[in-house]
Amino acid sequence: MSLFMDITVLLDVPYPHLAVDLLNPSQEHERSTHKLKRLVQSPNSYFMDVKCPGCFNITTVFSHAQTVVLCGSCATVLCQPTGGRARLTEGCSFRRKVD
C-alpha cells in the first residue's frame, strides 16, 4: 500500500475530490491567472484600432505601448504609457483587433 492509501485508511476518509476541475478551468479563472501559468499560455497584450476624436483617423496601437502615440494627421495624443498598459486619451474610442 502506498503512503496515500495508508493515510486515507487511518483517517477513515474516502478518496478526497478536488474542488476545481483542473482540465476545464472557467474563463474567469483563466483570465485572472498569470500568463505563463494558464492551461495554454497566452499573452495579456493586444493590438487595437484607436479613432482620433478630432479628425476620426484610425491608428493601430499596441495595448502596452511604451511611448506616446500621436495621430498621424493632426498630431493629437492618442495614448500615454503607464507602468503596464497604455492609457487612452479621453474621448478616444478603440476596438480590439481580431487575429
- Structurally, how many domains does the chain consist of? 1
The CATH code of the domain that includes 67 is: 2.20.25.100
pLDDT exceeds cutoff 70 at 6: no
Q: What is the rounded distance in angstroms from the CA atom of residue 50 to the CA atom of residue 3?
A: 59
Look up the domain containing 10 and give its range.
3-96
Entry pTM: 0.69
61 has a pLDDT exceeding 60? yes
Predicted local confidence at residue 33, as pLDDT: 92
Q: How many CA atoms lie within 13 A of 5 on its CB side?
A: 2
Q: Indicate whether 4 pLDDT > 80.
A: no
- At residue 68, the pLDDT reads 95
Buried b (16+ CB within 10 A) or exposed e, 21-36: eeeeeeeeeeeeeeee
Q: 60 with 51: CB under 8 angstroms?
A: no
